[in-house]
Amino acid sequence: MRVALLGSGRGSNADAVLRAQKEGRLGKAVVAGIYCDIPTAPMLKLGPIYGVPAHYLDPGPFKTKFSPEREAAWAQTLIDDQIDLVVLAGFMRVLKSPLLHPFAGRIINLHPTLLPLFPGLDGIGQTWRAGSAEGGCTVHWVTEAVDEGGHLGQARVPRTADDTLETFAQKIHQAEHQLLPKVIAELAEKLPAR
């Protein structure tokens, strides 16, 4: 199963997936490429480190979404690269039909809360400010509705009395780094090739 990692930032979750691949924990999944919408994102530096092609792709003029033309161009690139599964790992754009349609049932996202609680931006901050006794992360299918696709896995993280927002966030990120590769490996057993 050929996997594309889409991201917008430092790439800690992409790094966790690539590390899992190097350690033989991705099963039948192979990361075929890293695709980023920010030309200076540290995530792009992971490509040479792990021997995986890393691409900056122009997202168009908007900050949180694509223009339909640019989204269609991204979709065509992923089709040309024979991608079977698209993994949003810190990708900060809302997807619409130009990408969702050709990859229906083949795009997953990692969200830093126990969905359906606290969808959208700043999930960890939302969880913290609500005084929740626990946080966590969810891997889910991507649909037109933000953070509402079916769940593929969750990891729970208790909030302790000595936690700060920073330590709480670190624990959630550690849980993300375990959960995402696990779900990818499980999907590689279930999803047929495109």
Tokens of 9: 């930032």
The torsion defined by the Cα of 75, 78, 79 and 82, in degrees rounded to 10, comes to: -170
Residue matched to tokens 């729970």? 156
Residue 13: C-alpha distances to residues 18, 77, 88, 105, 186 (Å): 9, 22, 9, 21, 17
Please count the other Cβ atoms lying within 10 Å of the Cβ belonging to residue 67. 14
Catalytic position from the list 101, 111, 140, 177: 111
Distance CA(14)–CA(77), nearest Å, equals 19
Residue 151 catalytic? no
C-beta separation of 194 from 106 below 8 A: yes
Q: Which residues pair with 56 in a beta bridge?
A: 36
For residue 192, how far is the Cα from the chain centroid?
A: 20
Q: Which residues are catalytic?
A: 111
